């Protein structure tokens, strides 16, 4: 019996493990824009990411799932809310707590991501973790409406076995840190599939020019969407030419996209930014089908005192200065999805279901035929 619980300390942040997961740029894919030093959501100063990855059992009870935690301000996340906005491109999914995000304009804790049937467990565990930190929240009350998103991993994971427990949410939260972010089969992305290939967690970032303010935009996705023929990389419909085995023949799946920036934006402007991630999703070929839960949230790490000071100070950009941020969001979202694919590894899950990883050599050959292969750099 295969039984393995992979912790963030053991896998997600290990340099050796990171080296084993090539990214889109390592494969020579020519992406637009300038990434940050890590090409990750953690290029936005203060943002931390943690994982709990569950790979346990086989056959009918195979667990291939986990939890991802994104903390906008690291250790200060609970004491300093962040301006935020969210958007649903197609609502066959869940992102809890967004009614209050819409009403208040603030994200008052972490963003958690898991599988569809573990949202309640992770939500309640996040409240328990919040209470254990001690002290009331920034508004002076002992209450919490956690933001928890999901995508469905039931093809590879025994989703009704309820393998995600409170301790997995605690592990993701406690292990959150800055620096490189693991991708592919980790955290909430462990059992996820996109474009009928093993996918999961992916991230990317962009840094604006000094003329555009020098701001950073970072994106993290939990990708679990799309059909093979839809897959588009660097403008090339590569999915039509890939020969790896198919998984299904109808539109399925979902994607959660988290956008972070240090640009000073107000909640309605962050909703605009969240919407733009739809265009990055479309670049990768997705159509956002009827059964897809495509839900996005954006937050800003600027204005750290806006949720606690009285009167609250709030600097913000004029709307006509947002175009570069829109472009950065589109570019980083597209690359984050490709990075999730590039890092995915073959997986056999519940009832022996097998999902192949992206064939890197075949992808490079296709891009070469279309004259879209750049020098392989990180």
Q: Which residue has the higher pLDDT, 18 or 79?
A: 79
Q: Report the CATH number at residue 338.
A: 3.60.70.12
Quote the CA–CA distance of 190 and 156 in Å, as a whole number.
9
Q: Kindly name the residue from 82, 118, 288, 292 that is annotated as catalytic.
A: 292
292 catalytically annotated: yes
Residue 327 lies in a domain: yes
Q: To 5 degrees, how large is the angle CA 355–CA 20–CA 258? A: 70
> Scanning the structure block, which residue is given the tokens 């947002």?
322
What's residue 100's pLDDT? 97
> What's the mean pLDDT when you consider all of the chain?
93
Q: Is the pLDDT of residue 5 over 70?
A: no
Q: Kindly name the residue from 254, 277, 278, 284 that is annotated as catalytic.
A: 254
320 catalytically annotated: no
- Average pLDDT (202-220) is 98
DSSP H helical ranges for the chain: 15-19, 98-104, 119-132, 166-174, 267-283, 323-343, 360-369
Q: Is the pLDDT of residue 232 over 70?
A: yes
Q: Is the pLDDT of residue 376 over 70?
A: no
Q: Are strands 293-300 and 253-261 parallel, antiparallel or unpaired?
A: parallel
Quote the CA–CA distance of 181 and 220 in Å, as a whole number.
9
Q: Is the pLDDT of residue 4 over 80?
A: no
Quote the CA–CA distance of 350 and 246 in Å, as a whole number.
17
What's residue 136's pLDDT? 75
Q: Is the pLDDT of residue 1 over 90?
A: no
Residue 365 lies in a domain: no
Angle between helices 323-343 and 267-283 (to 10 degrees): 50
Q: Is the pLDDT of residue 156 over 80?
A: yes
What's residue 182's pLDDT? 98
Contact 253, 116 (CB under 8 A): no
- Average pLDDT (323-342) is 98
Q: Is the pLDDT of residue 101 over 50?
A: yes
Percent pLDDT > 90 in the chain is 86
pLDDT in tens, 78-100: 999 999 999 999 999 999 999 99
- Average pLDDT (195-215) is 98
Contact 55, 64 (CB under 8 A): yes
Q: DSSP code of 184?
A: B
Q: To 5 degrees, how large is the angle CA 66–CA 68–CA 69? A: 145
What predicted TM-score, i.e. pTM, was given to this entire model? 0.94
Q: Is the pLDDT of residue 358 over 60?
A: yes
Q: Which two tokens stand for residue 96?
A: 């809890």
> Scanning the structure block, which residue is given the tokens 């998103």?
149
Residue 45 burial by CB count (10 A; 0-12/13-18/19+): exposed, middle or buried?
A: middle
What's residue 375's pLDDT? 63
Contact 217, 259 (CB under 8 A): yes
Q: Kindly name the residue from 137, 262, 294, 334 that is annotated as catalytic.
A: 294
Residue 378 lies in a domain: no
Residue 376 lies in a domain: no
Residue 197 lies in a domain: yes
Domains held by the chain: number: 1
Residue 48 lies in a domain: yes
What's residue 236's pLDDT? 98
Q: Is the pLDDT of residue 353 over 50?
A: yes
Minimal CA–CA distance to 219: which of 33, 38, 41? 41
Contact 71, 176 (CB under 8 A): yes
Q: Is the pLDDT of residue 288 over 50?
A: yes
What's residue 16's pLDDT? 37
Residue 321 CA from chain centroid, whole number: 26
Phi, psi for 364 (deg, rounded to 5): -60, -40
- Omega before 311 within 30 of 0, i.e. cis: yes
DSSP H helical ranges for 59-198: 98-104, 119-132, 166-174
Structural domain harbouring 69: 3-10+19-360
175 catalytically annotated: no
């Amino acid at each position: 019996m295969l039984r393995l619980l992979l912790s963030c300390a053991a896998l997600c942040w290990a340099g050796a493990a990171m080296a084993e997961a090539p990214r889109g740029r390592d494969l020579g894919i020519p992406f637009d824009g300038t990434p940050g030093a890590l090409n990750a959501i953690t290029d936005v100063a203060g943002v931390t990411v943690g994982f709990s990855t569950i790979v346990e059992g086989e056959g009918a009870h195979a667990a291939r799932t986990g939890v991802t935690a994104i903390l906008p301000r690291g250790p200060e996340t609970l004491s300093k809310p962040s301006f935020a906005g969210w958007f649903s491109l197609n609502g066959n999914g869940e992102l809890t707590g967004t009614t209050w995000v819409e009403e208040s304009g603030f994200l008052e804790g972490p963003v958690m991501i898991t599988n569809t049937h573990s949202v309640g467990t992770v939500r309640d565990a996040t409240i328990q973790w919040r209470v254990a930190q001690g002290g009331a929240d920034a508004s002076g009350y002992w209450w919490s409406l956690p933001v928890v998103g999901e995508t469905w991993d039931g093809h590879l994971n025994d989703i009704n076995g309820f393998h995600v427990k409170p301790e997995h949410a605690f592990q993701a939260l406690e292990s959150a840190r800055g620096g490189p972010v693991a991708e592919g089969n980790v955290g909430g992305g462990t059992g996820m599939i996109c474009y009928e290939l093993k996918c999961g967690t992916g991230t990317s970032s962009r840094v604006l020019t000094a003329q555009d303010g020098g701001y950073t935009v970072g994106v993290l996705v939990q990708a679990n969407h799309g059909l093979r023929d839809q897959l588009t990389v660097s403008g090339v419909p590569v999915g039509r030419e890939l020969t790896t085995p198919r998984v299904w023949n109808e539109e399925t799946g979902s994607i959660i996209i988290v956008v972070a920036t240090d640009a000073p934006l107000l909640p309605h402007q962050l909703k605009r930014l969240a919407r733009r991630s739809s265009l990055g999703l479309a670049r990768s070929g997705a159509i956002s089908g009827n059964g897809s839960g495509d839900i996005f949230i954006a937050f800003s790490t600027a204005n750290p005192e806006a949720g606690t000071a009285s009167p609250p100070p709030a600097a913000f950009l004029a709307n006509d200065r947002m175009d570069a941020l829109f472009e950065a969001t589109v570019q980083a979202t597209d690359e984050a999805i490709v990075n999730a694919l590039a890092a995915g590894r073959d997986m056999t899950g519940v009832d022996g279901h097998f999902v192949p990883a992206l064939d890197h050599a075949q992808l490079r050959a296709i891009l070469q035929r279309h004259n879209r292969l750049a020098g392989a750099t990180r």
